[in-house]
Chain A
Amino acid sequence: MFAPVYFDHNATTPLDARVLEGMLPYLAAHYGNASSRHEYGRAARRAIDEARQRVACAVGAHPTEVVFTSGGSEANNLFIKGAAACLTPGVVAISAIEHPCVREPAQQLSHDGWVVREIAVTEDGRVAGADFHAVLEERPALVSVMLANNETGAVQDIAALAARAKPTGAWFHTDAVQALGKLPLDFRAMNSAGVHALTLSAHKSGGPKGAGALVVDKRVELRPLIAGGGHERGLRSGTENVAAIVGFGLAAEFAANRLDERARHFVQLRAELEAGLAAQGAAIFSVAAGRLANTSYFAFPGIDGETLVGRLDRAGFAVAAGAACSAANPEPSHVLLAMGIASSLARGAVRVSLGADNTAAQIRDFLAALKTTILQLKGLTALTS
């Protein structure tokens, strides 16, 4: 295969070689079902327990607070629907820039009498303090605000938001899928501030697809999404995906290590990237907000994002025009629209999300390719207009 430079780490990441090594025995000799009582089963159970320890340790939680799921989407669905099912319908408040796997479950609740209240964000993609205050006045029963946005990389001060929400008694959830491995996570500290649940996914930080977790304060009553057999303390039934869970444990552990070193690497690369982008006339989104250091989201006025990523792909660079999950959707990013970005500019959005293996040379090559591409596209635009 022709292998373009991979700049789409917020969509998914390559599997860490050490994670693969840890997983392989569970795709071979250690194949037991963790519910079986014989040695094959017990070996699988021990591996899951160990992975639960690793995940808990990586995010500062207690192992019994970790509920394994098939991924981040399921964990978000489990929290939103599972908590709502145990509450009297009321207001569910979510930020206007949530991932569809928080937005859609929240929308579903409206069929059961819930009112969905979106919390406005600033032009930098941060939760707008005044509107958050107004939302709290509406006494929400559930609040979900993502820790770091998958498109812009904008990071919210979750602990501060949760602390403000605490007097309302709402369950406060944060989707931390994009934060694992990029920011330090301390569930215990967040929990003291008022965060009750946190969603994680393995494949966004060097782990396999097919594993995620809801880290949840045990005071939160949840109705399971998937019934049958009572696995995961009854919160998530189904034979455990041992190999992926083992991989998740290792990936979480590696992700929590050397965070600073990785962040420094990203900061340097992105500074070089964004200096080049600015010089070429790009508008960079959320630049004034605290962002994930690996993420840069930008647009060139008058240039269609889909077209640009297509050209960049042919030039050897894998980037994204929007979130991978909604890439089939031709509408401009709901995140940018919520930030008040004009839809004409939002249609041009391109996301570069870096990984540990990306290099400064790749950034320079990318900027050179981008320059050529933009000139070509501008030429075309000039001809057709």
Chain B
Amino acid sequence: MNQAGMKLPVYLDYSATTPVDPRVAAKMIPWLTEHFGNPASRSHVYGWEAEKAVEEAREEVAALVGADSKEIIWTSGATESNNLAIKGAAHFYAGTKGKHIITVSTEHKAVLDTVKELERQGFEATYLVPQENGLITIEQFKAALRPDTSVVSVMAVNNEIGVIQPLAELGEICRDKGVIFHVDAAQATGKMPIDLSTLKVDLMSFCAHKTYGPKGIGALYVRRKPRIRLEAQMHGGGHERGMRSGTLATHQIIGMGESFRLARVEMATENERIRMLRDKLLKGLLDIEETYVNGDIEQRVPHNLNVSFNFVEGESLIMAVKDIAVSSGSACTSASLEPSYVLRSLGRSDELAHSSIRFTLGRFTTEQEIDFTIKLLHDKLGKLRELSPLWEMYKEGVDLSTVQWAAH
């Protein structure tokens, strides 16, 4: 295979983070150099120009998701946004709405750990377990609602399997019941249309670095009509209308604005190209025997493919495919050897969860890289399975679930 011009390892981990688009970086740099003012400085042009640029970026973030720029609060990233939204709303509404929270067992740790923290503080939580396809059902959700449910947090797009939860329907129900509805959209921006002028979402978390912007910057959408209130989590100079204090990182904000502008302009064509590549990868990998796709393949962003390869050992698989940069389990937890809690929630066995690979494609993925990946997986799986006694037994027709393993 001609690998000319292809950088190894091939990056197929766009859901962990994306490169900063060079156009975004170019726009950021002047705000690191000559335009270095503190946007909170009110007495000179260095501050004014920074403040103006920050407000323009806010408009761009709002424009991608059909919001008003006054509804956008800057944060340091989606993790902080999730913490601010969930703790901020839970604390603010505890006295009036109640102390019950509903979320999903496959949410990102930024949501799960936040909800756990609230449980420690005396809130109660229900964790919905999705169906085998990764999606929750409306009936299941309705059944979990209680009179004292105050906050619901459901992610738009799952970081591991890319499935899209039924936000519109959930939003209708929440609005109807007077429950605050938060959505973690870190993995959604630029990958699916989001229109907050029609979606009944009250709070939505965003970050730049999954959408070709810089790390260290995110935003929280806080609906104004009907008005949603929050208890601030970071106090100080009263920046961001008191909801989040701290000097605004101008260059990062400019980067987020530009990355969201590019997403708005280019999303439609870009996603078609990525879908074509993903489908090619899917077809190429399903040609391998005993390969299973994790998560619903239809109700899913085109960037994600999560596949389990049966009869190979997870760690050996990852070691064998070093020429591609992929993730097994989400980046934030992949340092641990525990099988993905997301796949476990879907009912996958430990073995299949362990031998899963998340391929996430993006703006700079090429067809050549996909061809390379397909061939690599075919070669390596062939070799790994040649060495696998389980594979041999499977090929001989032994039903492995009936085998009594000897302890030693």
| B239 with A325: CB separation less than 8 A | yes
| B36 with A13: CB separation less than 8 A | yes
A residues 6-58 with Cβ under 8 Å of B?
A: 6, 8, 11-15, 17, 20, 23-24, 27-28, 31-33, 35-41
| B33 with A228: CB separation less than 8 A | no
List of A residues within 8 angstroms of B246 by Cβ: 70-74, 101
Chain A nearest CB, measured from B362 CB (Å):
11
Chain B nearest CB, measured from A76 CB (Å):
7
| B248 with A35: CB separation less than 8 A | no
List of B residues within 8 angstroms of A225 by Cβ: 83, 233-234
| A242 with B235: CB separation less than 8 A | no
| B38 with A324: CB separation less than 8 A | yes
List of A residues within 8 angstroms of B111 by Cβ: 228
Q: How far is the CA of A321 from the CA of B44 in the complex (A)?
A: 10
Identify which of B109, B247, B251, B318 gathers the most chain A CB atoms within 10 Å of its CB. Answer: B247
Q: Is B13 in the interface zone, CB < 8 Å from A?
A: yes
Q: How far is the CA of A35 from the CA of B159 in the complex (A)?
A: 14
Chain A nearest CB, measured from B22 CB (Å):
7
| B38 with A244: CB separation less than 8 A | no
B residues 45-94 with Cβ under 8 Å of A?
A: 45-47, 49, 76-80, 82-83
List of A residues within 8 angstroms of B247 by Cβ: 12, 71-73, 201, 203, 209, 324-325
Out of B36, B82, B235, B245, name the residue touching A228 (CB < 8 Å). B82
Q: Is B43 in the interface zone, CB < 8 Å from A?
A: yes
Given A4-B45, A74-B246, is A35 in contact with B335 using a C-beta cutoff of 8 Å? yes
Q: Is B236 in the interface zone, CB < 8 Å from A?
A: yes
Of A233-241, A262-270, A286-294, the one contacting chain B is A233-241
B245-281, CB under 8 A of A: which get 1 and which 0? 1111111100000000000000000000000000000
Given A33-B17, A239-B209, is A226 in contact with B334 using a C-beta cutoff of 8 Å? no
Q: Chain A residue with minimal CB distance to B115?
A: A227
Q: Chain A residue with minimal CB distance to B242?
A: A104
Total residues of chain A contacting the partner, CB 8 A? 77
Q: How far is the CA of A107 from the CA of B249 in the complex (A)?
A: 26
Q: How far is the CA of A12 from the CA of B237 in the complex (A)?
A: 15
A340-357, CB under 8 A of B: which get 1 and which 0? 000000000000000000
Given A71-B246, A108-B235, A229-B109, is A209 in contact with B251 using a C-beta cutoff of 8 Å? yes
Given A39-B325, A209-B249, is A226 in contact with B335 using a C-beta cutoff of 8 Å? no
Q: Is A210 in the interface zone, CB < 8 Å from B?
A: yes
| B236 with A327: CB separation less than 8 A | no
Out of B32, B37, B209, B234, name the residue touching A20 (CB < 8 Å). B32
| B214 with A35: CB separation less than 8 A | no
Q: Chain A residue with minimal CB distance to B87?
A: A227
Q: Chain A residue with minimal CB distance to B336?
A: A230
| A210 with B41: CB separation less than 8 A | no
Q: Chain A residue with minimal CB distance to B20?
A: A27
Q: Is B216 in the interface zone, CB < 8 Å from A?
A: yes
| A229 with B36: CB separation less than 8 A | no
Q: How far is the CA of A158 from the CA of B287 in the complex (A)?
A: 68
Q: Chain B residue with minimal CB distance to A308?
A: B43
Q: Is B145 in the interface zone, CB < 8 Å from A?
A: no
| A11 with B83: CB separation less than 8 A | no
| A240 with B215: CB separation less than 8 A | yes
Q: Is B293 in the interface zone, CB < 8 Å from A?
A: no
List of A residues within 8 angstroms of B135 by Cβ: none
Chain A nearest CB, measured from B30 CB (Å):
10
List of A residues within 8 angstroms of B28 by Cβ: 27
Q: How far is the CA of A45 from the CA of B20 in the complex (A)?
A: 17
Q: Is B9 in the interface zone, CB < 8 Å from A?
A: yes
Chain A nearest CB, measured from B240 CB (Å):
11
Q: Is B16 in the interface zone, CB < 8 Å from A?
A: yes
Out of A107, A210, A328, name the residue touching B217 (CB < 8 Å). A210
B5-46, CB under 8 A of A: which get 1 and which 0? 000010101001111101001001100111111101111111
| B17 with A244: CB separation less than 8 A | no
Out of A3, A17, A327, name the residue touching B42 (CB < 8 Å). A327
List of B residues within 8 angstroms of A328 by Cβ: 40, 42, 238
Q: Is B368 in the interface zone, CB < 8 Å from A?
A: no
Q: How far is the CA of A203 from the CA of B251 in the complex (A)?
A: 12
Q: Is A99 in the interface zone, CB < 8 Å from B?
A: yes
Q: How far is the CA of A277 from the CA of B153 in the complex (A)?
A: 58
Top 7 nearest A-B pairs (CB, nearest first) are A241-B216, A325-B237, A101-B236, A228-B110, A210-B249, A318-B44, A238-B79
Further 12 A-B residue pairs, CB within 8 A, beyond A15-B33, A210-B76: A27-B214, A36-B13, A36-B327, A74-B76, A77-B234, A210-B217, A225-B233, A228-B83, A228-B109, A309-B43, A313-B43, A321-B43
Residue contacts A-B, CB under 8 angstroms, 15 given? A1-B34, A15-B32, A33-B331, A36-B327, A37-B318, A37-B335, A104-B245, A228-B112, A228-B114, A238-B110, A239-B207, A240-B215, A309-B44, A319-B43, A325-B239
